[in-house]
Structures are given as C-alpha cells and as structure tokens.
C-alpha cells in the first residue's frame, strides 16, 4: 500500500499554487512651473480628498508676469474704448460749427456770383469781375464739401478696420492674462483624486522642478492582483474566471478574485520552456480584482491561489 501510494504521488505531483501581488492605481503629482515649496500641510500616509491642497509653491516670476499682462490688457481695453467711443463731443461741435461757417460762406459766394453774373450779362461789369466771383463761388463750394466731410468723420468715429484691430488686440491681451493666471493657479498643488499619500519627494524650501513628481498618490479603492503564469498553467485561467485566493497578511482565506485582464509578457524577459523537451512556455500576466471589497487590503500584499 505504501509503495502504491508513493508511486501514485510520484506520477501525480501536487500542483504549485499561483502567487500574485496586490497592486493599486498610483498617480504622480507634478507642477507645470518651477517654484520653491512654501507650505506642505500634508504628510505621507495621510488620506486626502479630490481637490485637497497638498502644497503651495512660491513663483515670483509668474506673479510679476501677471502684472505685466494685466497692464497690457488695461491699455488694450482703453484703446478699444477710445475707438468705439469715437470723437469727443467738443470735436463734433467744432466740426459742425466749421461746416456751418463754410455753408454761410458758400451761400454768400453764391448770392454774390448771381448778382455779378446778372450785371455781366447786362454788360455793366468786366469779365474779370465775373471770373473772380465765379472763382470765389467754386472755392466756397469746395470748403463746404470739405467741412461736411470732417463733420461726417467726427460723427462716424473710427474706421471699421481700426475697430477690428482694437478688438483683436483686446482679445490677445485677455488671452495672455488667462494664460498667466492658469500658471499662477499652479502654485497651489492639489490632489486630483481621493487617495492616500504614498510618497512626498520634496521638503519646505526646496525647489520643485516643473514636470517632476512632487508626490505619489495611491487609490486604495482601485486594487488588483497580478499573477505571472506560465502557459502550461493557463488552461483553467480565462477572462471572467473567479479564483479563490488566500491573503496571508490579512489571514484571509477564500477571497474571491475575478480575472479581467490577460496579456503575454515580453519574450526577452520571461520566456522559458514549459518542459525541457518542449519549445513552448510563454509567461502571461493575469490581473484579477476582488469580487467584494477587502478591508485593510494594501498594495504589495501576497495573494496565493491554491489549485
């Protein structure tokens, strides 16, 4: 009996468990502009909500730039207001008075010419006097036309092209202010998600470079187990399959995990033959999430699936 049991166990070896590790979604928080850390109200291990302040940066260059673009915007706005408003009331009244003066002069020149022309037809005055009266009449007509044009310009105001140019400059200045204001907001580094602070890489007084991580956040509500499984162990592992696992760190047994992702690992790092006489043996990455939330589950904990 002992020999028979030993022979059976030798020909039917116990399958090794599947070993996995818990992972979670992590987010690296960085700033768009370089600044010096001014305040750091949180610590590693703290739980933060979405939008909560993590740290503030001192960025004097951006604040100075904001004052500059705000001044440019004020100048552009004033220019547009001037163009839209047109001529001042005093200028309009002066242009109108000049037109009325020219009109009175033209009427006088017209009457004078009519009298001179009548006398000329009777042969009572010379042609020289007639030509002088005609020239004065034409000059008065031209002065009246010019005065009317000046009055129309004062009433109309700036040309359409000038108004369009002023509007474009105002829009450009407004865009510049909004751009710099968005950079000023970067002095307040906030959490993009509800999470736990895993690492903080800077201290108060240090210079935080743009684009480099300032802190790492871990979303404990989005965790999964990662298994590296050889191809010969894959027949029972399918997408949607439920695995019963053990989590030694929590002394938890029969925790249900559902497979949601299967993907081959790179050959250069993981390939090995399933059997010495075989040339197959690709390693697959398998991810599975807990079917039900597991209290105190954290990244890095081992997950064991007995088969």
CA distance 189 to 87: 49
Which of residues 301 and 306 earns the better pLDDT score?
Answer: 301
Question: Given a cut of 80, is residue 271 above it in pLDDT?
Answer: no
For residue range 197-245, list pLDDT tens digits in order: 999 999 999 999 888 999 999 999 999 999 998 888 888 889 999 999 9
Question: Given a cut of 80, is residue 185 above it in pLDDT?
Answer: yes
Question: Looking at 17-26, 65-74, 158-167, which range is the least confident one?
Answer: 158-167
Which of residues 201 and 186 earns the better pLDDT score?
Answer: 201
Share of the chain above pLDDT 90, in %: 38
> In DSSP terms, which residues pair with 252 in a beta bridge?
247
Do residues 200 and 276 touch, judged by C-beta distance below 8 A? no
Confidence of residue 98 (pLDDT cuts 50, 70, 90): confident
Which of residues 60 and 259 earns the better pLDDT score?
Answer: 259
User: What pLDDT score does 85 carry?
Assistant: 64
User: What pLDDT score does 279 carry?
Assistant: 46
**Closest by alpha carbon to 300, among 201, 224, 222?**
224
Do residues 184 and 59 touch, judged by C-beta distance below 8 A? yes
For residue range 88-97, list pLDDT tens digits in order: 777 778 888 8
CA distance readout (Å), 194 to 54, 186, 275: 12, 19, 47
Share of the chain above pLDDT 70, in %: 88
Taking residues 172-185, report their average pLDDT. Answer: 84
User: What pLDDT score does 234 carry?
Assistant: 81
**Closest by alpha carbon to 197, among 43, 51, 80?**
43
CA distance 263 to 306: 22
Mean pLDDT of the chain: 84
CA distance readout (Å), 123 to 92, 114, 127, 180: 46, 14, 9, 84
Taking residues 113-127, report their average pLDDT. Answer: 85
Q: Which residues contact 40 (CB under 8 A, 6 or more apart)?
A: 54, 55, 200, 202, 203, 204
Taking residues 16-22, report their average pLDDT. Answer: 90
User: What pLDDT score does 276 carry?
Assistant: 44
User: What pLDDT score does 61 carry?
Assistant: 83
Do residues 184 and 63 touch, judged by C-beta distance below 8 A? yes
User: What pLDDT score does 270 carry?
Assistant: 47
Question: Given a cut of 50, is residue 277 above it in pLDDT?
Answer: no
């Amino acid at each position: 009996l002992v020999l028979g049991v030993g022979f059976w166990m030798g020909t039917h070896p116990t399958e090794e468990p599947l070993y996995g590790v818990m992972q979670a979604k992590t987010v690296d928080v960085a700033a768009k502009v370089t600044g010096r850390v001014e305040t750091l109200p949180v610590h590693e291990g703290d739980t933060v909500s979405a939008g909560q302040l993590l740290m503030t940066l001192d960025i004097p260059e951006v604040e100075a730039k904001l004052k500059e673009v705000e001044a440019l915007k004020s100048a552009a706005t004033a220019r547009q207001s001037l163009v839209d408003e047109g001529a001042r009331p005093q200028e309009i009244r002066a242009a109108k008075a000049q037109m009325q003066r020219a009109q009175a002069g033209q009427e006088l020149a017209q009457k004078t010419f009519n009298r001179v022309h009548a006398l000329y037809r009777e042969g009572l005055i010379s042609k020289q006097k007639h030509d002088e009266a005609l020239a004065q009449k034409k000059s008065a007509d031209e002065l009246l036309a010019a005065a009317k044009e000046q009055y129309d310009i004062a009433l109309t105001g700036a040309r359409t092209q000038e108004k369009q140019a002023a509007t474009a400059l105002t829009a450009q200045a407004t865009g510049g202010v909004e751009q710099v204001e968005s950079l000023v907001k970067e002095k307040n580094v906030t959490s993009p998600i509800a999470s736990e602070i895993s690492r903080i890489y800077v201290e108060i007084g240090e210079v935080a470079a743009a684009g480099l991580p300032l802190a790492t956040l871990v979303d404990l509500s989005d965790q999964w187990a990662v298994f590296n499984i050889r191809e010969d162990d894959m027949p029972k592992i399918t997408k949607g399959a439920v695995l019963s696992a053990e989590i030694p760190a929590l002394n938890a047994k029969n925790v249900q995990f559902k497979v949601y992702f299967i993907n081959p690992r790179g050959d250069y790092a993981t390939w090995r033959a399933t059997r010495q006489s075989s040339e197959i043996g690709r390693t697959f990455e398998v991810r599975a999430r807990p079917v039900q939330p597991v209290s105190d589950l954290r990244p890095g904990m081992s997950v064991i699936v007995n088969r």
